[in-house]
Structure 1
């Protein structure tokens, strides 16, 4: 498993928010849902994404894709000069700027929402709602808003997502989660591989024979009692040489990288499973719950139990449309 695969393998979409938005100008929607990541693709017409920090707006045409990294707000609009007419908050809660609910009045069908069923612009939107800590290293490597034109990435799965998003079949949410994951992987590979890309050190380091091998070993077997010496032996290089080159390419020493990876895995397991702290500790390479708790609190400022207790969000009313289930 390479590093990108490892970062994407843990916090896969689980009940991701997926929507087809159909709009007729003038339109503008302010998004303040604080979701960690949202992927948007225009399939018809055009749209603008305006970051909330005053950064440069991006223009999306058919086949273009954008990723907005939370929790910062942004606006999607037919024209960047159009003032927002709707606001989407945490949990998909949608209302006018005056607070009037819009979820039902703008429902156009299964996972379809907008102001006109035959609107000039159609966007596919996929939002990861859970802040999976395994992906934090990945999210930190992304800009607040990225844009890939249609010709800059290979998007054969986008028509699949477009076809599946409005279906109401058994197991449909799982199908959509997996298709969204595949689309996201395709976009991120294209983003990091584009000419002149400022890819993170861990991504560039994968091409190095010794450091890339070391990264794969740490990713694949974090529970192993690794030392720099044992890692160097497994890679067939000297201890000093591996430590120096790893730090130069990745930006941190091998054991610091391993600690971060172990704690990220532990964080994801704490929020995504019912495993005991003891079991989580041993799974990620700590001798027991005390050792994990000490490291976890030192790095994250809270104990594993406190972190787990704060990991769940209550569902919100008046949210954007969920599937309209059939009676079969």
Structure 2
């Protein structure tokens, strides 16, 4: 059997979605499991013909204040106009291109939950005309920027509470649209067999996981598990394992771990193998990333403000 972390990445056509499972429980059950936190927020100017790429960890959000932009996500493009909102759970490589001059409120959320529900968030949550659907939420979203910049006493708590409300409301609206994608995600989020394999990866990312060993945990055949996994999470088990390891590595680098220690803990055969995987993920070496993180967060671990006045 091949260790997933060492296996080459093979791009496969997305499988046909199976009949939707009935998602037990209601949306409140899922929303209560998720706790959102704000890492950074900024206002970016949008210029026709200009573009930039998202990167780094966390969950990126974009709210169009004025003008319009295109989000390039792989082979797909999402056109966003003033009032539209998007959350990207896998922002690396997403291109933001200006279509009309304007401005964009953008930032990064972190999310966690006691049972790992955040691990199966869909790649993109797009809400058309958030300003019309939830004007109070938009006001709260815009106030987060000034709160982040001013850093008044208690701002950390206020920002976390605000992030929780904004992200939960956006997720609820996305679910209420009634199309198949959110229904399928909630079914996957509540699938105990798939969750068992996902939890195992997160609890022990340094194990030499294979599709076969994960399929046994999910009580499925190898082929059935691989298809269910890709349908629910929009990526292969191998790619998911690597992403979890890289996100864990980022946290360990922030905490001052040595590269050799991280490589060993995360199941890599050598420092060089880990460093290559990390560079593919972050675009820089682990040591460079660690130096940048120390500079950005400072001794107190507070996020840097990247915002216009």
TM-score by length of 1: 0.51
Q: State the Cα distance separating 1:182 from its structure 2 match.
A: 1.1
Does 2:271 match 1:289? yes
Q: State the Cα distance separating 1:225 from its structure 2 match.
A: 3.9
Does 2:41 match 1:17? yes
* Contact preservation (8 Å) 2:226, 2:237: yes
Does 2:300 match 1:320? no
Q: State the Cα distance separating 1:195 from its structure 2 match.
A: 1.6
Higher Rg: 1
Q: State the Cα distance separating 1:34 from its structure 2 match.
A: 5.5
Q: State the Cα distance separating 1:186 from its structure 2 match.
A: 1.0
Number of the residue aligned with 1:211: 194
* Contact preservation (8 Å) 1:50, 1:57: yes
In 2: Cα distance, 1:128 partner to 1:214 partner: 27
Q: Which moved more, 1:310-319 or 1:65-74?
A: 310-319
Please state whether the residue corresponding to 2:153 is helix, strand or coil.
coil
In 1: Cα distance, 2:107 partner to 2:78 partner: 21
- Counterpart of 1:128 (choices 86, 108, 126) is 108
Number of the residue aligned with 2:259: 277
- Counterpart of 1:182 (choices 148, 164, 174) is 164
Q: State the Cα distance separating 1:294 from its structure 2 match.
A: 4.2
Q: Which residues in structure 2 correspond to 1:82-101 (within 5 Å)?
A: none
Number of the residue aligned with 1:94: none
In 2: Cα distance, 1:67 partner to 1:153 partner: 16
Does 2:55 match 1:72? no
In 2: Cα distance, 1:68 partner to 1:258 partner: 22
> Structure 1 55/242 Cα, relative in aligned 2: closer, same or farther at 3 Å?
closer
In 1: Cα distance, 2:31 partner to 2:268 partner: 24
Please state whether the residue corresponding to 1:212 is helix, strand or coil.
helix
- Deviation track 1:150-177 (CA, whole Å, cap 9, x = no partner) reads 5479959949967x939864242x1244
In 2: Cα distance, 1:285 partner to 1:191 partner: 40
* Contact preservation (8 Å) 1:38, 1:126: yes
Please state whether the residue corresponding to 1:223 is helix, strand or coil.
coil
Q: Structure 1: any 5+ residue segments left out of the alignment?
A: 20-28, 42-46, 89-124, 322-328
In 2: Cα distance, 1:210 partner to 1:153 partner: 39
Q: State the Cα distance separating 1:219 from its structure 2 match.
A: 3.3
TM-score by length of 2: 0.53
In 2: Cα distance, 1:170 partner to 1:4 partner: 28
In 2: Cα distance, 1:189 partner to 1:153 partner: 15
> Structure 1 178/293 Cα, relative in aligned 2: closer, same or farther at 3 Å?
same
Q: Structure 2: any 5+ residue segments left out of the alignment?
A: 1-29, 55-59, 72-76, 89-93, 111-117, 298-302
Number of the residue aligned with 1:50: 68
Q: State the Cα distance separating 1:196 from its structure 2 match.
A: 1.6
Query: RMSD between aligned alpha carbons?
Result: 5.5
Number of the residue aligned with 2:244: 261
* Contact preservation (8 Å) 2:205, 2:266: yes
Number of the residue aligned with 2:286: 304
Does 2:205 match 1:226? no
In 1: Cα distance, 2:213 partner to 2:157 partner: 41
* Contact preservation (8 Å) 1:154, 1:186: no
Q: Which structure is higher in helix share?
A: 2
Please state whether the residue corresponding to 1:72 is helix, strand or coil.
strand
In 1: Cα distance, 2:270 partner to 2:34 partner: 24
- Deviation track 1:188-230 (CA, whole Å, cap 9, x = no partner) reads 5225423226459877633444323322332344234433333
* Contact preservation (8 Å) 1:50, 1:58: yes
In 1: Cα distance, 2:122 partner to 2:193 partner: 26
> Structure 1 225/59 Cα, relative in aligned 2: closer, same or farther at 3 Å?
same
Please state whether the residue corresponding to 2:215 is helix, strand or coil.
helix
> Structure 1 285/179 Cα, relative in aligned 2: closer, same or farther at 3 Å?
farther
